[in-house]
Amino acid sequence: MIEDNDEGPAIGAAAANDPGEGAVGDLPDEGLAAIESELADTKDRLLRALAETENVRRRLQRERDDAQKYAMANFARDLLSAADNLRRALDAMPESDIAEAKTRSLRDGVAATERELLAAFERHGIRRLDPKGERFDHNFHQAIFEAERTDVPPGTIVEVLQPGYVLHDRLLRPAMVGVAKGGAKAESEDKTEGDAAA
């Protein structure tokens, strides 16, 4: 025989008085509209918070990748003067002027050291800019002087005083260059084009 306890009918009465089930249908229209508005507002805030979190995650990932990619920029900048000095040493003793075997061996050793340093630069994403004959680009080149040249178009680099370097896609040091100003040939071409247009 199953005993009736005192809690059984009380739970049933409490469930009958609980507005949880079937209460949505009993709410007035204003209350339902307020709940729907609050739900929409909460959903909007949640979506915005999720989007902001994703943006922060992407930004931090990009900053971490950049930090890894460009961490050695200062160290690389310090090595550029060593590369320049090796090149100056090689330029100071042209191979055609060397008569002694010891001097030739010394020059070969300096040339091998320069090649090894430039190869190490390449392995780590450092690229040398030697833009002679290219068009001047202020993003990668620094003009030191202009020269009257009739044999090349104006804005062409005619001399490289110091090569530039980039680390991946970031400039470490601009190339110091001399740029053609354009002389009689450029002026005569401009006049010819003007006459043809007229």
Domain that holds residue 157: 127-198
Number of domains making up the chain = 2
Residue 19 included in any domain:
no
Question: What φ, ψ does residue 171 adopt, rounded to 5°?
Answer: -75, 125
- The CATH number given to whatever domain includes residue 160 is 2.30.22.10
Q: Band of the pLDDT at 34, cuts 50, 70, 90?
A: confident
Average pLDDT taken over every residue of the chain: 82
Residue 5 included in any domain:
no
Residue 137 included in any domain:
yes
Q: Band of the pLDDT at 66, cuts 50, 70, 90?
A: confident
How long a stretch of residues is the chain? 198
Boundary of a domain, candidates 21, 51, 69: 69
Whether the pLDDT of residue 27 is over 90: the answer is: no
